[in-house]
Amino acid sequence: MSAVQDEFQGLETVDDRHVIGRHIVWHEETESTNDDARRAAETGEQEGLVVIADGQTAGRGRMSRTWTSPPGRDILFSVLLRPDVTDLPKMPLVAGLAVARTLDAFTDQPVTLKWPNDVRVADRKISGSLVESGSSKTGYFAIVGTGVNVNMDAGAHPEIAEIATSLRTLTGKSVSRREVMRKLLFEMDCIYSSPEQMGRLVSDWSSRLETIGQEIDVRWGGEFIHGVAEGVDETGRLLLRDGGGELRLLEAGEVTTQLSGQ
Protein backbone atom coordinates (compact mmCIF):
# COMPACT_ATOMS: atom_id res chain seq x y z
CA MET A 1 0.00 0.00 0.00
CA SER A 2 1.35 3.44 -0.91
CA ALA A 3 1.99 6.03 1.81
CA VAL A 4 -0.75 8.32 0.54
CA GLN A 5 -3.23 5.46 0.35
CA ASP A 6 -2.29 4.49 3.89
CA GLU A 7 -2.87 8.06 5.11
CA PHE A 8 -6.19 8.61 3.38
CA GLN A 9 -7.74 5.15 3.22
CA GLY A 10 -11.06 4.54 4.95
CA LEU A 11 -12.58 7.87 3.95
CA GLU A 12 -14.99 6.32 1.45
CA THR A 13 -18.68 6.83 2.13
CA VAL A 14 -20.48 3.66 3.11
CA ASP A 15 -24.00 5.02 2.95
CA ASP A 16 -25.94 5.25 -0.33
CA ARG A 17 -27.38 8.65 0.63
CA HIS A 18 -23.93 10.19 0.22
CA VAL A 19 -22.41 10.81 -3.18
CA ILE A 20 -18.94 12.25 -2.71
CA GLY A 21 -16.39 9.61 -1.79
CA ARG A 22 -18.17 6.53 -3.12
CA HIS A 23 -14.92 5.64 -4.80
CA ILE A 24 -11.51 7.06 -3.88
CA VAL A 25 -8.24 6.58 -5.75
CA TRP A 26 -4.82 7.71 -4.57
CA HIS A 27 -1.62 8.67 -6.39
CA GLU A 28 1.81 9.23 -4.90
CA GLU A 29 2.42 11.49 -7.86
CA THR A 30 0.36 12.46 -10.86
CA GLU A 31 0.33 15.29 -13.39
CA SER A 32 -3.02 16.72 -12.29
CA THR A 33 -5.86 15.08 -10.38
CA ASN A 34 -8.27 17.04 -12.59
CA ASP A 35 -6.95 15.16 -15.63
CA ASP A 36 -7.24 11.81 -13.85
CA ALA A 37 -10.85 12.52 -12.87
CA ARG A 38 -11.69 13.74 -16.37
CA ARG A 39 -10.37 10.55 -17.94
CA ALA A 40 -12.51 8.54 -15.52
CA ALA A 41 -15.57 10.68 -16.35
CA GLU A 42 -15.04 10.15 -20.06
CA THR A 43 -15.00 6.40 -19.62
CA GLY A 44 -18.28 6.38 -17.71
CA GLU A 45 -17.28 6.50 -14.04
CA GLN A 46 -20.23 7.38 -11.81
CA GLU A 47 -20.29 10.62 -9.86
CA GLY A 48 -18.67 10.77 -6.45
CA LEU A 49 -15.21 9.60 -7.51
CA VAL A 50 -12.43 11.36 -5.56
CA VAL A 51 -8.87 11.38 -6.88
CA ILE A 52 -6.26 12.33 -4.25
CA ALA A 53 -2.58 12.95 -4.92
CA ASP A 54 0.39 13.44 -2.63
CA GLY A 55 2.08 15.54 -5.29
CA GLN A 56 1.35 16.86 -8.77
CA THR A 57 3.89 17.47 -11.52
CA ALA A 58 1.55 19.70 -13.53
CA GLY A 59 -0.98 20.97 -10.99
CA ARG A 60 -2.82 23.89 -12.43
CA GLY A 61 -4.95 26.75 -11.22
CA ARG A 62 -7.29 29.16 -12.90
CA MET A 63 -6.13 31.35 -15.75
CA SER A 64 -3.43 28.82 -16.74
CA ARG A 65 -1.51 29.40 -13.52
CA THR A 66 0.59 26.69 -11.91
CA TRP A 67 -0.65 25.39 -8.56
CA THR A 68 2.31 25.28 -6.19
CA SER A 69 2.32 22.55 -3.55
CA PRO A 70 5.35 20.53 -2.43
CA PRO A 71 4.65 16.77 -2.21
CA GLY A 72 3.43 15.36 1.09
CA ARG A 73 2.30 18.62 2.67
CA ASP A 74 -1.12 19.63 1.44
CA ILE A 75 -4.42 18.41 0.11
CA LEU A 76 -4.75 18.00 -3.64
CA PHE A 77 -7.87 16.31 -4.94
CA SER A 78 -10.57 16.29 -7.60
CA VAL A 79 -14.16 15.16 -7.39
CA LEU A 80 -16.21 13.93 -10.34
CA LEU A 81 -19.79 15.21 -10.19
CA ARG A 82 -22.69 14.83 -12.58
CA PRO A 83 -25.09 17.59 -11.46
CA ASP A 84 -28.18 18.73 -13.24
CA VAL A 85 -26.92 21.00 -16.01
CA THR A 86 -28.60 24.02 -14.38
CA ASP A 87 -26.47 23.45 -11.27
CA LEU A 88 -23.14 23.25 -13.15
CA PRO A 89 -22.31 26.96 -12.60
CA LYS A 90 -22.73 26.43 -8.85
CA MET A 91 -20.00 23.79 -8.50
CA PRO A 92 -17.25 26.36 -7.68
CA LEU A 93 -19.51 27.65 -4.91
CA VAL A 94 -19.99 24.16 -3.48
CA ALA A 95 -16.21 23.76 -3.29
CA GLY A 96 -15.53 27.20 -1.79
CA LEU A 97 -18.22 26.95 0.87
CA ALA A 98 -17.23 23.39 1.84
CA VAL A 99 -13.58 24.42 2.22
CA ALA A 100 -14.53 27.48 4.28
CA ARG A 101 -16.73 25.41 6.63
CA THR A 102 -13.95 22.85 6.97
CA LEU A 103 -11.31 25.43 7.81
CA ASP A 104 -13.58 26.97 10.47
CA ALA A 105 -12.82 23.84 12.50
CA PHE A 106 -9.04 24.26 12.21
CA THR A 107 -8.49 27.98 12.78
CA ASP A 108 -10.01 30.61 15.07
CA GLN A 109 -9.58 33.30 12.43
CA PRO A 110 -12.40 34.24 10.05
CA VAL A 111 -12.43 32.25 6.82
CA THR A 112 -13.60 34.35 3.88
CA LEU A 113 -14.17 33.89 0.16
CA LYS A 114 -12.82 36.04 -2.61
CA TRP A 115 -14.94 35.84 -5.73
CA PRO A 116 -15.11 33.51 -7.49
CA ASN A 117 -13.59 30.79 -5.32
CA ASP A 118 -10.43 31.68 -3.44
CA VAL A 119 -10.62 30.81 0.24
CA ARG A 120 -8.74 33.24 2.43
CA VAL A 121 -7.61 33.56 6.03
CA ALA A 122 -5.69 36.52 7.47
CA ASP A 123 -5.73 38.30 4.09
CA ARG A 124 -3.96 35.42 2.36
CA LYS A 125 -5.10 32.62 0.09
CA ILE A 126 -5.24 29.17 1.66
CA SER A 127 -7.27 27.27 -0.94
CA GLY A 128 -8.50 27.48 -4.50
CA SER A 129 -10.63 25.34 -6.78
CA LEU A 130 -10.48 24.76 -10.49
CA VAL A 131 -13.78 23.51 -11.85
CA GLU A 132 -13.77 22.07 -15.36
CA SER A 133 -16.78 20.66 -17.16
CA GLY A 134 -17.32 18.35 -20.07
CA SER A 135 -19.67 15.78 -21.49
CA SER A 136 -19.45 12.11 -22.24
CA LYS A 137 -21.92 9.46 -23.40
CA THR A 138 -23.38 9.48 -19.91
CA GLY A 139 -24.02 13.25 -19.93
CA TYR A 140 -22.51 16.40 -18.51
CA PHE A 141 -19.94 16.26 -15.75
CA ALA A 142 -17.95 18.64 -13.59
CA ILE A 143 -14.47 18.05 -12.25
CA VAL A 144 -14.07 19.99 -9.02
CA GLY A 145 -10.34 20.19 -8.31
CA THR A 146 -9.28 21.70 -5.00
CA GLY A 147 -5.98 22.47 -3.34
CA VAL A 148 -5.82 23.30 0.38
CA ASN A 149 -2.57 24.48 1.94
CA VAL A 150 -2.31 22.40 5.08
CA ASN A 151 1.35 22.08 6.08
CA MET A 152 3.29 23.92 3.39
CA ASP A 153 5.56 26.84 4.19
CA ALA A 154 4.43 29.38 1.60
CA GLY A 155 7.39 31.57 2.53
CA ALA A 156 9.70 28.98 0.97
CA HIS A 157 8.12 29.51 -2.46
CA PRO A 158 8.94 32.98 -3.80
CA GLU A 159 6.06 33.01 -6.31
CA ILE A 160 3.46 32.73 -3.52
CA ALA A 161 5.41 33.85 -0.45
CA GLU A 162 3.57 37.18 -0.14
CA ILE A 163 0.06 36.01 -0.97
CA ALA A 164 -0.48 32.49 0.41
CA THR A 165 -0.72 30.86 3.82
CA SER A 166 -1.36 27.39 5.25
CA LEU A 167 -3.01 25.91 8.34
CA ARG A 168 0.41 25.16 9.77
CA THR A 169 1.55 28.76 9.29
CA LEU A 170 -1.65 30.04 10.90
CA THR A 171 -1.67 27.69 13.88
CA GLY A 172 2.05 27.13 14.39
CA LYS A 173 1.64 23.37 14.39
CA SER A 174 1.42 20.48 11.97
CA VAL A 175 -2.17 19.61 11.02
CA SER A 176 -3.49 16.17 10.04
CA ARG A 177 -4.24 16.09 6.33
CA ARG A 178 -6.48 13.11 6.91
CA GLU A 179 -8.68 15.01 9.39
CA VAL A 180 -8.95 18.01 7.06
CA MET A 181 -9.79 15.72 4.14
CA ARG A 182 -12.37 13.78 6.13
CA LYS A 183 -14.22 16.95 7.10
CA LEU A 184 -13.92 18.46 3.65
CA LEU A 185 -15.45 15.45 1.89
CA PHE A 186 -18.22 15.44 4.50
CA GLU A 187 -18.96 19.17 4.10
CA MET A 188 -18.90 18.97 0.31
CA ASP A 189 -21.27 16.04 0.32
CA CYS A 190 -23.61 17.69 2.85
CA ILE A 191 -24.04 20.60 0.46
CA TYR A 192 -24.13 18.73 -2.84
CA SER A 193 -26.43 15.90 -1.71
CA SER A 194 -28.97 18.13 0.02
CA PRO A 195 -31.59 19.96 -2.10
CA GLU A 196 -32.17 22.23 0.89
CA GLN A 197 -28.48 23.18 1.16
CA MET A 198 -28.23 23.61 -2.62
CA GLY A 199 -31.27 25.89 -2.40
CA ARG A 200 -29.54 28.26 -0.02
CA LEU A 201 -26.04 27.79 -1.44
CA VAL A 202 -25.67 31.22 -3.00
CA SER A 203 -26.90 32.94 0.15
CA ASP A 204 -24.58 30.90 2.46
CA TRP A 205 -21.64 31.34 0.10
CA SER A 206 -22.13 35.07 -0.45
CA SER A 207 -22.33 35.73 3.30
CA ARG A 208 -18.58 34.98 3.38
CA LEU A 209 -17.68 36.97 0.27
CA GLU A 210 -15.18 39.72 0.96
CA THR A 211 -15.32 41.02 -2.63
CA ILE A 212 -18.69 42.76 -2.37
CA GLY A 213 -18.41 46.56 -2.24
CA GLN A 214 -14.79 46.48 -3.37
CA GLU A 215 -13.20 48.02 -6.46
CA ILE A 216 -11.74 45.16 -8.46
CA ASP A 217 -10.25 44.30 -11.83
CA VAL A 218 -11.83 41.32 -13.52
CA ARG A 219 -10.36 39.51 -16.47
CA TRP A 220 -12.96 38.81 -19.13
CA GLY A 221 -11.45 37.01 -22.09
CA GLY A 222 -8.52 39.18 -23.12
CA GLU A 223 -9.60 42.39 -21.35
CA PHE A 224 -9.61 43.60 -17.78
CA ILE A 225 -12.76 45.33 -16.57
CA HIS A 226 -12.41 47.71 -13.66
CA GLY A 227 -15.45 48.28 -11.49
CA VAL A 228 -17.21 47.96 -8.17
CA ALA A 229 -18.56 44.54 -7.18
CA GLU A 230 -22.18 45.17 -6.20
CA GLY A 231 -23.31 41.63 -5.43
CA VAL A 232 -23.96 38.21 -6.89
CA ASP A 233 -27.03 36.77 -8.60
CA GLU A 234 -28.81 33.48 -7.93
CA THR A 235 -26.11 31.41 -9.69
CA GLY A 236 -23.12 33.19 -8.21
CA ARG A 237 -22.45 35.52 -11.15
CA LEU A 238 -20.79 38.74 -10.08
CA LEU A 239 -22.64 42.01 -10.60
CA LEU A 240 -19.91 44.48 -11.53
CA ARG A 241 -20.63 48.18 -12.07
CA ASP A 242 -18.00 49.15 -14.65
CA GLY A 243 -16.33 52.53 -15.12
CA GLY A 244 -19.02 53.61 -17.59
CA GLY A 245 -21.79 52.92 -15.06
CA GLU A 246 -22.98 49.76 -16.84
CA LEU A 247 -23.89 46.73 -14.69
CA ARG A 248 -22.07 43.65 -16.02
CA LEU A 249 -22.95 40.05 -15.10
CA LEU A 250 -19.80 37.94 -14.93
CA GLU A 251 -19.70 34.13 -14.80
CA ALA A 252 -17.53 32.69 -12.03
CA GLY A 253 -16.35 29.96 -14.38
CA GLU A 254 -14.94 32.30 -16.98
CA VAL A 255 -13.35 35.21 -15.20
CA THR A 256 -11.22 35.89 -12.19
CA THR A 257 -10.09 38.89 -10.23
CA GLN A 258 -6.75 40.18 -11.40
CA LEU A 259 -4.88 39.78 -8.16
CA SER A 260 -6.31 36.43 -7.07
CA GLY A 261 -3.46 34.80 -5.18
CA GLN A 262 -1.74 31.50 -5.66
Task: Please identify which residue in 100, 130, 167, 170 interacts with ligand BTN, judged by CB under 6 A.
Answer: 130
CB 61 within 8 A of CB 262: yes
Which residue number is nearest to ligand BTN in terms of Cβ? 128
The amino acid occupying position 19 is V
Give yes or no for residue 20 binding ligand BTN (CB under 6 A): no
Choice between 88 and 95, CB closer to ligand BTN: 95
Smallest CA-to-CA distance from 67 within 103, 118, 113, 109 is with 118
In the three-class reduction of DSSP (H, G, I as helix; E, B as strand; rest coil), residue 164 is classed as strand
For residue 75, the minimal CB distance to ligand BTN (Å) is 8
Binding to ligand BTN (CB under 6 A) within 53-72 occurs at 56, 59-62, 65, 67
CA distance 96 to 112: 9
Give yes or no for residue 18 binding ligand BTN (CB under 6 A): no
Q: List the alpha helices (DSSP H) in 84-232.
A: 91-104, 167-171, 177-192, 195-199, 201-206
Give yes or no for residue 145 binding ligand BTN (CB under 6 A): yes
Give yes or no for residue 30 binding ligand BTN (CB under 6 A): no
Give yes or no for residue 185 binding ligand BTN (CB under 6 A): no
The phi and psi torsions of 152 (rounded to 5 degrees) equal -70, 155
CA distance 159 to 148: 17
CA 48 to chain centre: 15
Task: Please identify which residue in 21, 22, 34, 82 interacts with ligand BTN, judged by CB under 6 A.
Answer: 34
Give yes or no for residue 116 binding ligand BTN (CB under 6 A): no
Contacts with ligand BTN by CB under 6 A lie at 32-34, 56, 59-62, 65, 67, 76-78, 118, 128-130, 145-147, 262
